[in-house]
A and B are shown apart, each in its own frame.
Chain A
Amino acid sequence: MFCTFCGAGIPESANFCVNCGAHAPVMPSSTAAPAADPASSYAAPALQAQPPNLPPPAVHSAAVKCPWCGAVSDGSQSSCPRCGAALDVPEDTSESGWIEVPGRKDMTKIQLGNSSCQIEGVYVPVADMNLAAGDGIYFTHHVLLWKDPQVTISAMPLAGAWKRVFAGLPLIMTQAAGPGHIAFSRDDPGELMPVPLQPGEALDVREHLFLVATASVAYDWFPTNVWLKTQQGNETETHYPVGMFMDRFTAPQAPGLLLLHAAGNVFVRRLAEGETILVKPTALVFKDPSVQMHLHFERPGTVFHGWGNWTNRYLWLRLTGPGRVAIQSVFERIEGEARNLSSCSYATEQRW
């Protein structure tokens, strides 16, 4: 048989691939058993929406439920047709509860109605969309890699987009219409994350991480209200550790697909009601709209002078559940470091 990860030939009896170390493919019937086990749905939750109040899909004996997005497939594929996660690789969860974004096989294909998306490459993956006639997508600047000549692209009208100029964000969303192929990639080694959105579901994404979305996904943004002002001499500067605005993607009626690109590895966890976690502000990838965020400072209790001075404090983003949060392992430096803080948005504080 062949390794479903790297394609190397491996002995029939092998449990692991001799070339890449991935788990050897298992028969669908053996993966169906844990899917029916109630214990596995407890461990499942990562990208799966919390309350899609839909009737449970009819599960026949060979059906496989994607542990990542919850989609049920017939067990004949080794990858989830809705989010592309590998179905024959166990989920990686750290002891602290972070779930690593699932392994994805090179050339995995995701079906979106009549259109499809193939994800190619491993270091800087490419999203290759095959658009059917009448299907559309939209994307930001600097992500288009190549397209068939017949795919038309145009600017997408956005109400109030001029506000975004000040945040230094791409002002123009570009839309493309099928039929034909169009492909996207970003300029950092990292993960390409397909996030399927079910009707009524929404996701808040830190700016600049969005790659492409299907036309059925609505795009909006909101001010983060997370800021701090620093002073140096007579100069005051305002910094936005998670960006001035945050993108919000919603699937109002029809299901849609959102593709994000994060740098490095991506980890997701689900916070219970009232549960909190401190994360590096620039490492945030996305959160459920139900998750609240604000600044959090930590400093030594013995320091009285210049606590506003950066060298004596640590800055966190405090996230409060319920809902999912995702972080990336490569992040930028926070702007305004090493400057004196003059004021900031709502923040909690802890002294050692």
Chain B
Amino acid sequence: MIPPAPEAESFDRIQCQWCQGMNEKAALACRACGAPLDIRNLVSESGWREAPRIRDMTEIHFGSSTCQVEGEIVPVAEINLGAGDSIFFEHHVMLWKDERVPLGVMQLSGGLQRAFAGMPFIISLATGAGRIAFSRDATGELVVLPLHPGMELDVREHAFLLASHHISYSFVRVKGLVNILFGGQGMYMDRFVTGSVAGLLILHGYGNVFERRLAAGESIMVEPGAFLYKDSSVTMEVQFQRLGTGLFGGTNMALARMTGPGRIGIQSMYVHHHTE
């Protein structure tokens, strides 16, 4: 028998500590984000919380659709779209789909200026009913972020797997030459905003993913390649650390200073762009 979490004892419902969604007391995984409800949170002494390790074959519900998370090393998000529901994504993450699921292209302003891997930057749209599945190209974790109404989240470009159509998508140019050249996360950041309706956003982080909530004014220095997502209230500024040796004129190390208030997510495997 599984002992109930102490805080759930007096309630009929249990709150997921990752997404704050309410679940039935007997639930083993959160209905909205898939986080296991029967294991304790893994939080480091320095305050980073590990993204919940979603159990193989866990099902997540959004709108009239479901998402099943399959596999653990490079997990697949398999979406069973309900009629009328749609999701959007980048083309490089598609794994397979039912023939009958129609694909379309989301109209974006300025999207033509962006290119990915030599291809024009296009956000594709799939509409139910039917199944379509997504995965990315390296060992890592799915980060399921149900967005409550009125939320605004910035994500490293090309790191999002899919989002439900209730979320509005735009991208922001990372400002300042220093950030563009040395920020490591490229020239753009994806921005996801919810209006009055909640939505579902799924990211894929390389390696392990950790989240931390910064208080107002609290800051932390992060390797730019490790940045995965942040609340848009968190500011990001790339700073240089000069490592002089005298012999070769030294090397610069760029670190991003992230300042709260808000959440910040990082991945433990990353791409290096920060020397020279």
- Cβ 8 A contact of A144, one of B2, B223, B248, B251: B223
| Given A9-B3, A109-B45, A153 contacting B253 (CB threshold 8 A) | yes
Q: Are B269 and A188 closer than 8 Å at their CB atoms?
A: yes
Q: Are A123 and B45 closer than 8 Å at their CB atoms?
A: no
A281 vs B255: C-alpha distance when bound (angstroms)? 35
A-contact 0/1 string along B236-264, CB 8 Å cutoff:
00000101110110110101010000000
A148 vs B255: C-alpha distance when bound (angstroms)? 11
CB proximity of B48 to chain A, nearest CB, Å:
7
Q: Are B208 and A155 closer than 8 Å at their CB atoms?
A: no
Q: Are A145 and B139 closer than 8 Å at their CB atoms?
A: no
A161 vs B248: C-alpha distance when bound (angstroms)? 11
| Given A120-B208, A124-B207, A145-B222, A7 contacting B247 (CB threshold 8 A) | no
Contacts of B208 in A (CB 8 A): 120-126
Most buried by B among A3, A126, A153, A181: A126
Contacts of B247 in A (CB 8 A): 161-162
Closest to A148 in B: B220
Contacts of A162 in B (CB 8 A): 247
Contacts of B38 in A (CB 8 A): 8-9
Is B183's beta carbon under 8 Å from chain A?
Answer: no
Question: How many positions in chain A have a CB within 8 Å of any CB in the partner chain?
Answer: 47
Considering only residues 150-175 of chain A, those with a C-beta below 8 Å from chain B are: 153-155, 157, 161-162, 171-172, 174
Q: Are B221 and A106 closer than 8 Å at their CB atoms?
A: no
Is A183's beta carbon under 8 Å from chain B?
Answer: yes
Q: Are A121 and B45 closer than 8 Å at their CB atoms?
A: no
Is A11's beta carbon under 8 Å from chain B?
Answer: yes
A196 vs B47: C-alpha distance when bound (angstroms)? 26
Q: Are A11 and B1 closer than 8 Å at their CB atoms?
A: yes
Is A149's beta carbon under 8 Å from chain B?
Answer: yes
Is B50's beta carbon under 8 Å from chain A?
Answer: yes
Contacts of B100 in A (CB 8 A): none
Q: Are B39 and A7 closer than 8 Å at their CB atoms?
A: yes
A155 vs B250: C-alpha distance when bound (angstroms)? 9
Contacts of A172 in B (CB 8 A): 243, 245, 251
CB proximity of A206 to chain B, nearest CB, Å:
20
Most buried by A among B141, B222, B268: B268
Q: Are A145 and B268 closer than 8 Å at their CB atoms?
A: yes
Q: Are B219 and A149 closer than 8 Å at their CB atoms?
A: yes
A144 vs B221: C-alpha distance when bound (angstroms)? 10
Q: Are B139 and A146 closer than 8 Å at their CB atoms?
A: no
Pairs A–B under 8 Å by Cβ, sample size 14: A2-B40, A6-B39, A8-B36, A122-B53, A144-B223, A144-B255, A146-B221, A148-B220, A149-B220, A161-B247, A162-B247, A185-B268, A187-B207, A187-B270
Question: 14 new A-B pairs (CB below 8 Å) besides A124-B206, A172-B251?
Answer: A6-B53, A9-B38, A19-B36, A106-B42, A125-B208, A126-B208, A128-B44, A130-B45, A141-B275, A145-B222, A157-B245, A171-B248, A172-B243, A189-B73
Q: Which residues of B are at the interface with A, using a C-beta cutoff of 8 A?
A: 1-3, 36, 38-40, 42-46, 48, 50, 53, 55, 73, 139-141, 206-208, 210, 219-223, 226, 241, 243-245, 247-248, 250-251, 253, 255, 257, 266, 268-272, 275
